[in-house]
A = this chain, B = another copy of it.
């Protein structure tokens, strides 16, 4: 089923305790699209890049059958650039440079052909832009949105307005607590869902994720990754695995949402193994399904007789 992906396409400069790269493909729409392309051939990307965007990166998207009709090329400037450095424990990072470039005036225009998309992934961009996307689409079955503390603090009104039209929100635990102004995560989840989203996923990094859907709570484990090389894009990759699986199965049951959360976790666990989206370029079906089984084994609670 068709998946519309709206978000940033960028270049990142990344330094981790294990290595450094001056310029690598990045952005939320990039990670979501690349990841979901493992599950469906109907991925439709909407974003903007500048005059410096490399032909090889266009080719990468094309090689994954990602539709680029909605990828605007703005020759008035360069592609969005972000540079950051991770601390020793990889849980914190400093932003060293942010150049919005052509992304500053990004106006997400959804091509006519994409407006009937069944599933919509709103990558982490300004909430009013996310809202603008939703005004242009016709009756999607599921709208999934990501956001961050920058918008929770900076544009709370626009965020809350957009949230009313979102079905499933994906945020991390500190964002959930901040958005709800509530330290207890379960209470915070309930407060966030009162703002609009019927379902909610709270990502907890090394502690896994929680899914709240249909009155049910699902606790997903984290994969015990010993060598996290670069956490960049892990959250977007999670969203890509989640929505890729949903688009592939076309099944919104609570049970299948659990599978989708694990598939998101599977893909994110691969992402962090190498720089940027490197690891997402050549995964095999076997690797993906084997790791899904690893997740099952990891959290299997034996019955008691």
Tell me whether A221 is interfacial, beta carbon within 8 Å: yes
**Other-chain residue from B225, B262, B289, B301 in contact with A259 (beta carbon distance below 8 A):** B301
Residues B90 and A183 in contact, CB atoms below 8 Å apart:
yes
Contact with B along A220-233 (1 / 0, CB 8 A): 11101110100000
CB distance from A33 to the nearest CB of B (A): 22
Tell me whether A255 is interfacial, beta carbon within 8 Å: yes
Q: Which residues of B contact A132 (CB under 8 A)?
A: none
Residues B90 and A302 in contact, CB atoms below 8 Å apart:
no
Which residues of A (51-106) have their CB < 8 Å from a CB of B?
88-91
Tell me whether A203 is interfacial, beta carbon within 8 Å: no
The contact size tier of chain A is: 35 or more
A222-B219, A224-B217 are contacts. A302–B259 as well, Cβ < 8 Å? yes
Tell me whether A298 is interfacial, beta carbon within 8 Å: yes
Which residues of A (291-305) have their CB < 8 Å from a CB of B?
292, 295-296, 298-304
Residues A298 and B186 in contact, CB atoms below 8 Å apart:
no
Residues B298 and A259 in contact, CB atoms below 8 Å apart:
no
Residues B226 and A262 in contact, CB atoms below 8 Å apart:
no
Q: Which residues of B contact A259 (CB under 8 A)?
A: 301-302, 304
Tell me whether A207 is interfacial, beta carbon within 8 Å: yes
Tell me whether A108 is interfacial, beta carbon within 8 Å: no
Inter-chain CA distance A11–B256, complex, in Å, is 49
**Other-chain residue from B183, B210, B258 in contact with A300 (beta carbon distance below 8 A):** B258
Which residues of A (183-213) have their CB < 8 Å from a CB of B?
183-187, 204, 206-208, 210
**Other-chain residue from B206, B217, B262, B302 in contact with A185 (beta carbon distance below 8 A):** B206
Tell me whether A151 is interfacial, beta carbon within 8 Å: no
Inter-chain CA distance A89–B206, complex, in Å, is 21
CB distance from A241 to the nearest CB of B (A): 13
8 contacts between A and B (CB under 8 A): A89-B184, A91-B183, A186-B226, A218-B299, A219-B299, A221-B221, A259-B301, A299-B301
